[in-house]
C-alpha cells in the first residue's frame, strides 16, 4: 500500500513545499523587521513615549500605537524619517488620577501585517515590563505589580528565526548536505558559533556592515548550498561534501550580521544590553534547533517508507533546484537594492 501510493505522496509533498517557498519568497524575501514601542513613566505622573516602526523607502508601514484614554490621539512632539524606519516621540503625557497601571496598549493595524512589535515599559518604581505583540495578539494591559521583566528578547529571537525563510533554507541545505548525525552536529555547531560572533560584534556596533549587501550575500550563501547539493547528487565530492562545517562557519558570519539587523532596528535597552543580546541569541538558537529537529524527524520518517527507485533522486533534485531558484531571485533582487543604495 505504501509502495504503491508513496510516489504520488512524494510529488504532492514536493509541490506543497514548492508553493510554500514561492509564497514565502514574496512575503518574506527580506528580514521581517520588528517595530519598537517604549513607554517611560515619570515620577511626576506623566509618561514619555517613543515609537519606532519599520518603513519601506519613505512610506511607513501602516501601524499606529494606542494607549487607553486616547493618550496618543494627538500629533507627536517630533517625527524623524530615516531610510528604514520612522521615529515618533510624545513627551510629558498626563496620565491623570488613573495612572498607567491597567491601561491597555495596542498596535492598531498590526493584525494586517507580518511584523512584530517589541514593547518596553519603564515603571516609575524601577520595574520594567517587556512584551512582544504579534498580529494575533496586538494588545496587552500594563501591570505595575508584575515584578521582573519578561525576557521578550528571547521570544523575539525565536520568532525572528522561524519567520526568516532565507535563514531556514540555509539551515535546511546544511541538513541535506551533512552525512550522519555527527557531521550534522559539527556543521550546525559551526554555524551557531559563527553567527553568534558577528551577531554580537554587529549589534554592539564594534563592526559596521552594509545591511543591503549582507542581505544579498545571505541569499548567495543559499544559492551556493543549492549548487553543492546538485554536485553531491551527481557524485562530485569536494571539501564542501567532506567538511560542510567549513562552509557553515564561513557563511554563518554573514547570517549573524543579518540577524543583528533586527536588533539594529529596535535597539538594545540601555543598562541591559548584554542580557538582551544574550537572550535574543538564545532565542535564535532555540528556534533553529526546533526547526532542525522537526525537519530531521520528517526526513527520518520518510526514509522508513518504501519508495520507487527514482523517487529519492527526484525529491533531491526538486529540493535543490527549488532552493536554488528562490535564492537566485533573492540574490538578484537584494543585489539590485544594495547597488542602488551605493549609487
Q: Which residue has the higher pLDDT, 32 or 296?
A: 296
- Looking at residue 90, its pLDDT comes to 95
Report the chain's mean pLDDT, rounded to a whole number: 79
pLDDT winner (highest mean) among 10-24, 188-202, 328-342: 188-202
- Looking at residue 221, its pLDDT comes to 92
Per-residue pLDDT, averaged over 289-311, amounts to 78
Residue 38 · residue 49 · CB < 8 Å: yes
Q: How far is CA 155 from CA 151, 290, 333, in A?
A: 7, 13, 30
Assign 38 to helix, strand or coil: strand
Assign 131 to helix, strand or coil: strand
- Binning pLDDT at 50, 70 and 90, where does residue 5 land? very low
| Percentage above 90 pLDDT, the chain | 16
- Binning pLDDT at 50, 70 and 90, where does residue 72 land? very high
Q: Which residue has the higher pLDDT, 72 or 233?
A: 72
Q: How far is CA 61 from CA 30, 39, 161, 234, 299, in A?
A: 14, 20, 21, 46, 39
Residues 244 and 160: their CA atoms lie apart, in Å, by 25
Q: How far is CA 330 from CA 6, 22, 158, 226, 264, in A?
A: 33, 11, 23, 13, 22
Q: Which residue has the higher pLDDT, 326 or 78?
A: 78
Torsion, CA 112, CA 113, CA 115, CA 121, rounded to 10? -20
Assign 300 to helix, strand or coil: helix
- Looking at residue 275, its pLDDT comes to 76
**Does residue 51 register a pLDDT over 50?**
yes
Q: Which residue has the higher pLDDT, 51 or 59?
A: 51
- Looking at residue 278, its pLDDT comes to 85
- Looking at residue 250, its pLDDT comes to 92
The DSSP code for 111 is G
Closest CA to 38 of 67, 11, 15: 67
Residue 316 · residue 229 · CB < 8 Å: yes
Q: What share of the chain is helix, strand, coil (3-state, %, to 5)?
A: 55, 15, 25
- Looking at residue 269, its pLDDT comes to 64
Q: How far is CA 332 from CA 166, 220, 247, in A?
A: 14, 9, 21
Chain position carrying cell 541569499: 219
- Binning pLDDT at 50, 70 and 90, where does residue 11 land? very low
- Binning pLDDT at 50, 70 and 90, where does residue 336 land? confident
- The helix (run of H) or strand (run of E) holding residue 289 is helix 273-303
Torsion, CA 203, CA 207, CA 209, CA 215, rounded to 10? -50
- Binning pLDDT at 50, 70 and 90, where does residue 145 land? low
Closest CA to 303 of 92, 10, 21, 104: 10
Q: Which three cell numbers stand for residue 255?
A: 547570517
Name residues whose C-beta falls within 8 Å of residue 34's C-beta, 6 or more positions apart in sequence: 54, 115, 116, 117, 118, 132, 156, 160, 262, 265, 266
For 12-26, 152-166, 227-241, which range has the lowest pLDDT when averaged over its residues?
12-26
Cβ-based neighbour number of residue 334 at 10 Å: 22
- The helix (run of H) or strand (run of E) holding residue 93 is strand 85-94
Alpha-carbon radius of gyration of the chain: 23
Closest CA to 67 of 32, 108, 33: 108
Name residues whose C-beta falls within 8 Å of residue 139's C-beta, 6 or more positions apart in sequence: 104, 105, 106, 107, 133
Q: Which three cell numbers stand for residue 249?
A: 562557519
Residues 222 and 275: their CA atoms lie apart, in Å, by 31
**Does residue 169 register a pLDDT over 80?**
yes
Residue 98 · residue 69 · CB < 8 Å: yes
**Does residue 148 register a pLDDT over 50?**
no
Amino acid at each position: 500500500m505504501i509502495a504503491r501510493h508513496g510516489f504520488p505522496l512524494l510529488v504532492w509533498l514536493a509541490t506543497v513545499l514548492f508553493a510554500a517557498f514561492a509564497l514565502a519568497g514574496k512575503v518574506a524575501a527580506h528580514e521581517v523587521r520588528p517595530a519598537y514601542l517604549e513607554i517611560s513613566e515619570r515620577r511626576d505622573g506623566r509618561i514619555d513615549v517613543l515609537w519606532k516602526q519599520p518603513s519601506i523607502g519613505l512610506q511607513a508601514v501602516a501601524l499606529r500605537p494606542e494607549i487607553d484614554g486616547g493618550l496618543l490621539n494627538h500629533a507627536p512632539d517630533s517625527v524623524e524619517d530615516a531610510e528604514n524606519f520612522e521615529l515618533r516621540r510624545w513627551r510629558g503625557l498626563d496620565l491623570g488620577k488613573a495612572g498607567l497601571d491597567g491601561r491597555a496598549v495596542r498596535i492598531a493595524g498590526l493584525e494586517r501585517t507580518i511584523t512584530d512589535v517589541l514593547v518596553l515599559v519603564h515603571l516609575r518604581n524601577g520595574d520594567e515590563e517587556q512584551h512582544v505583540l504579534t498580529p494575533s495578539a496586538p494588545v496587552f494591559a500594563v501591570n505595575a505589580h508584575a515584578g521582573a521583566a519578561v525576557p521578550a528578547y528571547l521570544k523575539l529571537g525565536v520568532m525572528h528565526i522561524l519567520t526568516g525563510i532565507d535563514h531556514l533554507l540555509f539551515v535546511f541545505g546544511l541538513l541535506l548536505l551533512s552525512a550522519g548525525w555527527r557531521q550534522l552536529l559539527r556543521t550546525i555547531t559551526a554555524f551557531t558559533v559563527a553567527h553568534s560572533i558577528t551577531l554580537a560584534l554587529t549589534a554592539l556596533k564594534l563592526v559596521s556592515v552594509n545591511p543591503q549587501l549582507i542581505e544579498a550575500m545571505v541569499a548567495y550563501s543559499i544559492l551556493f548550498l543549492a549548487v553543492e547539493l546538485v554536485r553531491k547528487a551527481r557524485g562530485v565530492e569536494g571539501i564542501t561534501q567532506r567538511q560542510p562545517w567549513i562552509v557553515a562557519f564561513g557563511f554563518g558570519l554573514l547570517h549573524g550580521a543579518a540577524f543583528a539587523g533586527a536588533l539594529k532596528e529596535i535597539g538594545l535597552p540601555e543598562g541591559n544590553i548584554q542580557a538582551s543580546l544574550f537572550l535574543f541569541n538564545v532565542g535564535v538558537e532555540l528556534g533553529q534547533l526546533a526547526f532542525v529537529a522537526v525537519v530531521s524527524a520528517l526526513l527520518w520518517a520518510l526514509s522508513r517508507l518504501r519508495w520507487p527507485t527514482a523517487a529519492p533522486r527526484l525529491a533531491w533534485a526538486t529540493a535543490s533546484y527549488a532552493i536554488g531558484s528562490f535564492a537566485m531571485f533573492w540574490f538578484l533582487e537584494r543585489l539590485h537594492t544594495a547597488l542602488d543604495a551605493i549609487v
